[in-house]
Amino acid sequence: MKRLAVYCGSATPEDPRYIELARTVGADLAERGIGVVYGGGRLGLMGAVANGARDAGGEVIGVIPEALVNSEVANHDCDELITVSGMHERKQRFTDLSDGFVSLPGGVGTMDELWEAMSWAQLGYHSDPVGLLNAFGFYDDLIAFNRKMADVGFVREAHQNILIAADTLPDLLGKMAAYEPHTPIFRMKADDL
């Protein structure tokens, strides 16, 4: 993996562990020679992951909608800051520029990006690994919900391993490196659906 799209919150939680986690993830990716493609902001976990990667000598590419550049939250210290018209184009750029996806703790925007990466993998728009860093147990309930969707039958057996979760970045990256793409819906027959 040469580059990973890193999804995370633009907020700064009161608990300092979250900012430290983001900074450490950025630095660890840089030390492994993995570039960071992220939301292009300078605030919250987004800014921390970019700063961590940049301070460790890594590549940082930001992809930010025009509306957020204009509200002065853009991180102009990126190696490349790509301005796009809106969120749909932003997520397409993440997919085009990256070899996989990692979600750190975050809010609604992070969930939107994570679920779209999973949905696109399921359909066959990409075949890259989709990782979830479950630091501090932040995503325990989401992992359980994903399992419930599969148990009920809303996630096909062929797609139940799209979401790759781990509690630490080294474990997550190891699982992502071992990921073998599944059969996407676009290549399934009606009887398989």
The domains of the chain are located at: 3-178
CA 39/CA 43 separation, integer angstroms: 10
Q: What is the dihedral of CA 73, 19, 133, 96, to 10 degrees?
A: 20
Q: What is the pLDDT of residue 193?
A: 61
Looking at residue 190, what is its pLDDT? Answer: 66
Which backbone phi and psi does 121 adopt, to 5 degrees? Answer: -65, -45
Structure confidence by residue, pLDDT tens digits, 73-83: 999 999 999 99
User: What length does the chain have?
Assistant: 193
The confidence score (pLDDT) of residue 187 equals 74
pLDDT at 158: 87
Q: Pick from 24, 38, 13: which is nearest to 103 by CA?
A: 38
Residue 4's Cα: distance from chain center in Å? 7
Q: Look at residue 89 in the predicted model and tell me its pLDDT.
A: 96
Q: Give the DSSP per-residue string, the chain.
A: --EEEEE--SS--SSTHHHHHHHHHHHHHHHTT-EEEE--BSSHHHHHHHHHHHHTT--EEEEEEHHHHHTT-B-TTSSEEEEESSHHHHHHHHHHH-S-EEE-S--HHHHHHHHHHHHHHHHTS----EEEE-GGGTTHHHHHHHHHHHHHTSS-GGGTTSEEEESSHHHHHHHHHT------GGG--GGG-
**Helical pair 108-123 and 87-97, crossing angle rounded to 10 deg:** 60
Q: State how far Cα 6 lies from the chain centre.
A: 4
Q: Which parts of the chain sit beneath pLDDT 50?
A: none
- Are the C-beta atoms of residues 50 and 62 closer than 8 Å to each other? yes
The second-level CATH assignment, the architecture, of 3-178 is 3-Layer(aba) Sandwich (3.40)
